[in-house]
Amino acid sequence: MTQAAADVARLDARAEARLGVLFGLGAYGLWGVFPLYFKAIAQVPALEVLAHRIVWSVLLLVALVLLQRRGRALLRVLAHWPTALALATTTVLIALNWFVFIWAVANNHVLQSSLGYFINPLVNVLLGFVFLRERLRRGQVLAVALAAVGVGLRTWHQVPWIALVLAGSFGFYGLLRKVARVDALLGLTVETALLAPWAAGYLLYLGARGDGAFGAVSPKLTILLLLAGVITAVPLLWFTHAAKRLTLTTLGFLQYLAPTGHFLLAVLAFGEPFTRHDVLSFALIWSALGIYSADAVQRGRQLAPVG
């Protein structure tokens, strides 16, 4: 390769990286303000919101798969039984995660949701050690230990079951998706498709009883419910574009934007109490994440090619 060609390649790589950062900021930034959307529809029961999110998401995701001409790839995923079985399990986990998060926002527990997503990276490390026999480095051990103390102190005051369910369900979800080796778009399409019959049936049942919110409360609420598919699919697509262009270390830093957004909204916008127990617990967890991030950067430099 000539020097000129090498310079062009480096410029292209930098442009792709900058584009990846923009996609990553968009994805995690949008996930960070999710509580605003679910707070706006808090009058709708969480189970009904979950059903709407599934129905409108699967319609949009299937359309995206067809537009990208990946229908055959989707059928291959469904035809591969080990992958289909893994996705059937992740379907339950993502439904649980979505439901608990929707319920938490509607019932003024956004601070706990932020706690759950802050500790999620460290839960992933622990699950990798237990189930994938991944070796823990000293920095990771210290980070997990500090986070455990932080959660333990929070538990001493009140068990943060919302945070634990969110972190645990999403942690196991990530573990199984790693084993399944299916990209985000196809995987989520399968998961929502598996849930769609239940979700559609439940919404039809509510409509027959006259208890459904869709089209019965206000045009604004109906439009917001229709947007459930968009707010699910758009950050997912931005994330997939970011993941193709960025290193895992960079993505690891960007992922803290979402729980940070939840935390700021909980304390500054929604007025949720931030007690002394919360201050100490979050301080320990943020310290753990700082150690974890520093360890990830050091590891990335060690593995980076020389020259």
**pLDDT tens digits for range 98-116:** 999 999 999 999 999 999 9
> Rounded CA gap, 140 and 83, in Å?
30
Integer Cα distance of 18 and 177 in angstroms: 27
Question: How many C-beta neighbours within 10 Å does residue 59 have?
Answer: 14
Question: Between 253 and 261, where is the model more confident?
Answer: 261
Q: Which residue has the higher pLDDT, 1 or 145?
A: 145
> How confident is the model over 28-81, as pLDDT tens digits?
999 999 999 999 999 999 999 999 999 999 999 999 999 999 999 999 998 988
Task: Return d(Cα 272, Cα 267) in angstroms, integer.
Answer: 5
- Asked if 144 contacts 136 with a C-beta cutoff of 8 angstroms, the reply is yes
* Domain residue ranges in the chain: 19-300
249 CB-near residues (< 8 Å, 6+ apart): 296, 297, 299, 300
Which sign does the torsion angle of CA 151, 155, 158, 161 carry?
Answer: positive
Q: What is the mean pLDDT of residues 4-18?
A: 62
Give pLDDT tens digits for 159-178.
899 999 999 999 898 888 88
Instruction: Tell me the pLDDT band of 277, cut-offs 50, 70 and 90.
Output: confident
pLDDT computed for residue 11 by the predictor: 55
* Mean of all residue pLDDT scores within the chain: 87
Q: Report the residue count for the chain.
A: 307
Cα separation, 79 vs 62, whole angstroms: 17
Q: 125, 175 in Cβ contact below 8 A? A: no
pLDDT of residue 1: 53
Structure tokens belonging to residue 77:
């995923």
Q: Per-residue pLDDT averaged across 83-93, rounded?
A: 92
Q: Which of 261, 191, 260, 256 is nearest to 37 (CA)?
A: 261
* pLDDT (tens digit per residue) in 114-150: 999 999 888 888 888 888 888 888 888 898 899 999 8
pLDDT at 97: 94
